[in-house]
Amino acid sequence: MKYIEIFVKTALSKSGLENTDYSLNPYRGCEHQCVYCYAPYVTHTPLEIWRTTVFIKKNIPTVLDKELRRKKGFITIGSVTDAYQPAERKYELTRKSLEVLLKHRGRISILTKSNLILRDIDIIEKFEEAHVGVTLTTLSDEKRRLMEPNSSSIEERLDVLENFRGKAITYAFIGPIIPSITMPYLESMLKILRNIGVDYIIFDRFRWKKNMVLPENLEKEIRNTNYWEIKRKIYRGVKSLEIPIYFDW
């Protein structure tokens, strides 16, 4: 993995995400290398560069500090990269950005596939409003390794939710749903999340982006998936769950 340090002029970008005013991405590129990642297509970065090079936005905490004097609102951290990917262990740009956000009394949401976020529990628990979510696409670590090779294990991710209970608003992001990877585990997944006591669950379908390249078998499966049918199945599964759920489709 190649790390390239860069200096940025802006830290926050206007977000198109629902319930979010701005996005903050301390890195460009992502070491987790999920096979279904659409970030390279959204950021117009060649796939091979996205997977092998991480651009480190060295001055992002300083720029953020200046911007937060005039930009107010809800901020999603890591909208097109994982803010807790391995580079964060060394560079701590997410941690430093959190310190700045706390100073400005920001409201935040972080979604990750890494248990490195536990390192920053001491800062995150001080926010008046902090949402902490982990992504789950399956409960099988074998399948997880194939889909999201450099991410934390399922157990480690569930441990994140356990540890943040009562210290942040916790949620699970189940997506992108890939039927053969996700659906056999859905029922168990929901039971585990209920026992952990997450505050809410978001479900998302797979999203195609222009020029997206996927392994052949995966592409075939997704093209043959009826996501409305999947949605109906999920509704049936969550009936007795008593956890707020949201669909992104």
| Contacting residues toward ligand SF4, per CB under 6 A | 30, 32-34, 37, 39, 81-82, 113, 148
Q: What is the DSSP code (8-state) at residue 165?
A: B
- The CB-of-81 to ligand SF4 minimum distance in angstroms stands at 5
- The CB-of-1 to ligand SF4 minimum distance in angstroms stands at 12
Nearer to ligand SF4 by C-beta: 41 or 200? 41
What is the DSSP secondary-structure string of 71-97?
A: --SEEEE-SSS-TTSTHHHHH-HHHHH
Q: Are 84 and 58 in contact (CB under 8 A)?
A: no
- The CB-of-50 to ligand SF4 minimum distance in angstroms stands at 8
Nearer to ligand SF4 by C-beta: 135 or 170? 135
Q: Are 113 and 148 in contact (CB under 8 A)?
A: yes
Nearer to ligand SF4 by C-beta: 135 or 238? 135
SS3 161: helix
Phi, psi of 106 (to 5 degrees): -75, 160
Nearer to ligand SF4 by C-beta: 137 or 170? 137
- The CB-of-214 to ligand SF4 minimum distance in angstroms stands at 13
Beta-ladder partners of 27: 56
Rounded Cα distance between 31 and 82, Å, is 8
- The CB-of-134 to ligand SF4 minimum distance in angstroms stands at 11
Q: E strands of the chain, at which residues?
A: 2-6, 12-14, 22-24, 27-28, 53-57, 74-77, 107-112, 130-136, 169-174, 200-203, 245-247
Nearer to ligand SF4 by C-beta: 83 or 230? 83
